[in-house]
């Protein structure tokens, strides 16, 4: 990719602003309370926009347009379950985390089930986030390579060090405010892309609606043989119906807003429960349109390339090129100087907003749930702040090392390994939290019984997916529903064990 001077100036300005935010907030970080939750003073609109920046990541910028370009809007369907999930999060989950001046999502697990379950939840989160950090940094490095011509190793190290620098020195303040900035940049970049497309089409915006509708590109149905199939609303564990897609979305969103430290830390950083709840509404009414916009951008690109035939676009449609190459190709080949720099900044923002949040949340969980709680309790706050800085540096190093390994490894092997680890350790986490939120039953024994059986269940589905079991012993359902079934299993087993095999001690988290 050859960038004009205007593009480099736009990119440089963006990076300097992000770095400046990190250095500005570094002056405030004199306590762990400031470093982890920003003194608990953030307003709702800031929390909401930072949640958008954390959740949209590179998937929104690259995968959503690519999916709508190749197929239709079926993948948008699970996002519609965000509305009921937000209602549950705002009025059921949020009050629990706002009590007792919590900092970590896993403090609740100790209050409810005991310290051993808290450690399990923290370790499951750390493993999942470290894998996620390595994969996102590797994806970010691909864009850096394309823009700068650096080697893969140099791109990974430079990208990781830059994100790590402003995150380590700035703490949660820098993470939240850079996420707000990155959300705005991401939106602006997408709008610029759509403007270029509409300006190049003879029929403008109306042509996108007309041609896309005629081709079925707005359908919420499986894409088959170049056209949308029939939309089914049946309940089924053997096929991906619209109803099941919504249930999967609901499960994923409830998990995100009950047990993910990236989210819970925003609850805790809000100045009040009211502001935290307002942040959830800002997130809801920002994220849903943003996701829809980027799906629409993918449809617009399909219409654009129908009018302006392109060999790369054709290769993506027929499967000879990866769909995720669509946006980088469009940026490179069709955007004018200066505009390309802005859109590349948006792509960088999409990845960086996920990386900085995960580095900070991993650091918080490592210090609060493991180091301060079990390894070195009772030390002064300055000691824990120094440990937090050191741990953030270590997480950055681990992220870079993981991305470097990924660059030299078989990506399919790493993806499989990551999926297995995250599925095994994180399976059933929503069920565990729901048991604590919705009932008074359950203690460490019940929780561990649910965890053990969920691990066995998830391991069974992994073996099925690998084809390592005979047909008679394989899972008789679509493995897409592993998480949904696993959470139900966790809740039911925990509840039944608590009811029919109660321990001698009260189920109050004292076990």
Dmax (CA) for the chain in angstroms is 76
Q: Quick one: which of 69, 63, 72, 64 has its CA closest to 316?
A: 69
How many domains is the chain built from?
A: 2
Contacts of 300 (CB under 8 A, 6+ apart): 194, 197, 198, 208, 212
pLDDT per residue as tens digits for the range 425-434: 567 899 999 9
pLDDT average, residue stretch 481-508: 81
Instruction: Give the chain's length.
Output: 511
pLDDT at residue 232 in the model: 79
Asked if the structure places residue 169 within a domain, the reply is yes
- Six token digits for residue 91: 């009025």
Residues 468 and 403 in one domain: no
pLDDT average, residue stretch 190-212: 93
Contacts of 60 (CB under 8 A, 6+ apart): 186, 290, 291, 294, 350
Domain finish residue from 410, 435, 466: 410
pLDDT average, residue stretch 16-45: 91
Asked if the structure places residue 415 within a domain, the reply is no
Taking CA atoms, 463 is separated from 210, 237, 361, 393, 474, in Å, by: 46, 18, 31, 36, 8
Q: Which domain, by its residues, includes 451?
A: 427-511
pLDDT at residue 410 in the model: 59
Least confident of 224-238, 426-440, 475-489: 224-238
Greater confidence (494 vs 229) lies with 494
Asked if the structure places residue 417 within a domain, the reply is no
pLDDT at residue 433 in the model: 94
Domain finish residue from 410, 445, 462: 410
Asked if the structure places residue 418 within a domain, the reply is no
pLDDT per residue as tens digits for the range 41-97: 999 999 999 998 877 765 677 778 888 998 898 888 889 999 999 999 999 999 999
Which residues does residue 224 pair with via DSSP β-bridges, in sequence order? 227
Model-level pTM?
Answer: 0.86
Residues 447 and 314 in one domain: no
Residues 278 and 397 in one domain: yes
pLDDT at residue 432 in the model: 93
Residues 357 and 452 in one domain: no
Provide the pLDDT confidence category of residue 254 given band limits of 50, 70 and 90: very high
pLDDT average, residue stretch 210-239: 84
Residues 182 and 323 in one domain: yes
pLDDT average, residue stretch 152-175: 90
Residues 377 and 449 in one domain: no
Element containing residue 347 per DSSP (H, E): helix 339-365
pLDDT at residue 510 in the model: 41
Residues 100 and 133 in one domain: yes
Provide the pLDDT confidence category of residue 503 given band limits of 50, 70 and 90: low
Cα(26)–Cα(30) distance, integer angstroms: 9
Residues 243 and 98 in one domain: yes
- The residue written with tokens 């960088």 in the block is 348
Residues 314 and 433 in one domain: no
Asked if the structure places residue 421 within a domain, the reply is no
User: Pairing between strand 227-228 and 223-224?
Assistant: antiparallel
pLDDT average, residue stretch 452-466: 86
Yes or no: say if 55 and 66 are a contact pair by the CB < 8 Å rule.
no
124-133, 267-276, 332-341, 472-481, range with greatest mean pLDDT: 267-276
Provide the pLDDT confidence category of residue 412 given band limits of 50, 70 and 90: very low
Provide the pLDDT confidence category of residue 445 given band limits of 50, 70 and 90: very high
- Six token digits for residue 237: 């564990």
Asked if the structure places residue 348 within a domain, the reply is yes
Contacts of 250 (CB under 8 A, 6+ apart): 78, 81, 84, 85
Burial 289-308 (b: 16+ CB within 10 A, else e): ebbbbbbbbbbbbbbbbeee
Sign of CA dihedral 124, 281, 221, 215: negative
CATH of the domain at 167: 1.20.1730.10
Yes or no: say if 368 and 104 are a contact pair by the CB < 8 Å rule.
yes
Residues 94 and 190 in one domain: yes
Q: Where are the beta strands (DSSP E) in 357-464?
A: none
Domain finish residue from 380, 410, 440: 410
Asked if the structure places residue 420 within a domain, the reply is no
* Percentage of the chain lying above the pLDDT 90 cut: 45
Asked if the structure places residue 507 within a domain, the reply is yes
Residues 449 and 301 in one domain: no
Residues 56 and 121 in one domain: yes
**Is residue 495 over pLDDT 60?**
yes
């Amino acid at each position: 990719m050859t960038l004009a001077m205007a593009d480099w100036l736009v990119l440089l300005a963006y990076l300097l602003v992000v770095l400046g935010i990190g250095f500005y907030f570094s002056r405030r970080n004199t306590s762990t309370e400031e470093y982890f939750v920003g003194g608990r003073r953030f307003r709702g609109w800031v929390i909401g926009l930072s949640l958008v920046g954390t959740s949209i990541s590179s998937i929104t910028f690259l995968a959503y347009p690519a999916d709508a370009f190749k197929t239709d809007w079926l993948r948008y369907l699970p996002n519609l379950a965000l509305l009921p999930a937000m209602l549950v999060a705002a009025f059921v989950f949020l009050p629990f985390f706002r009590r007792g001046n919590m900092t970590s999502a896993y403090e609740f697990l100790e209050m409810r089930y005991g310290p051993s379950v808290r450690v399990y939840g923290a370790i499951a989160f750390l493993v999942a986030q470290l894998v996620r950090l390595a994969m996102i940094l590797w994806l970010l490095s691909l864009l850096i390579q394309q823009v700068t011509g650096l080697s893969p190793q140099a791109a990974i190290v430079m990208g990781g060090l830059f994100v790590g620098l402003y995150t380590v020195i700035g703490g949660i303040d820098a993470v939240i405010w850079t996420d707000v900035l990155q959300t705005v940049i991401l939106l602006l970049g997408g709008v610029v892309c759509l403007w270029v497309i509409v300006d190049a089409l003879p029929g403008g915006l109306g042509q996108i609606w007309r041609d896309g509708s005629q081709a079925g590109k707005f359908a919420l149905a499986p894409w088959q043989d170049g056209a949308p199939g029939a939309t089914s609303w049946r309940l089924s564990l053997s096929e991906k119906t619209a109803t099941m897609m919504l249930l999967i979305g609901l499960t994923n969103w409830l998990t995100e807003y009950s047990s993910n430290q990236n989210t819970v830390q925003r609850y805790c950083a809000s100045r009040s429960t009211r502001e935290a709840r307002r942040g959830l509404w800002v997130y809801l009414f920002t994220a849903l349109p943003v996701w829809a916009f980027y799906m629409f951008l993918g449809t617009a690109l399909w219409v654009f390339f129908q009018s302006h035939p392109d060999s790369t676009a054709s290769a993506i449609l027929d499967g000879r090129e990866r769909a995720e190459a669509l946006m980088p190709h469009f940026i490179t080949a069709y955007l004018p100087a200066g505009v390309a720099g802005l859109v590349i900044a948006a792509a960088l923002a999409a990845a960086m907003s996920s990386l900085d949040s995960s580095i900070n949340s991993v650091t918080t969980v490592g210090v609060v749930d493991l180091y301060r709680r079990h390894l070195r309790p009772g030390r002064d706050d300055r000691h824990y702040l120094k440990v937090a800085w050191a741990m953030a540096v270590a997480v950055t190093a681990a992220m870079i090392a993981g991305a470097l390994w990924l660059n030299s490894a078989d990506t399919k092997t790493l993806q499989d390994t990551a999926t297995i680890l995250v599925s095994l350790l994180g399976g059933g986490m929503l069920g565990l939290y729901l048991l604590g939120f919705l009932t008074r039953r359950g203690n460490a024994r019940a929780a561990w019984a649910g965890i053990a059986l969920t691990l066995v269940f998830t391991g069974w589905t992994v073996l099925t997916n690998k084809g390592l079991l005979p047909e008679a012993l394989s899972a008789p359902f679509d493995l897409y529903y592993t998480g949904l079934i696993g959470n139900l299993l966790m809740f039911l087993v925990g509840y039944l064990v608590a009811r029919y095999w109660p321990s001698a001690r009260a189920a109050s988290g004292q076990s």
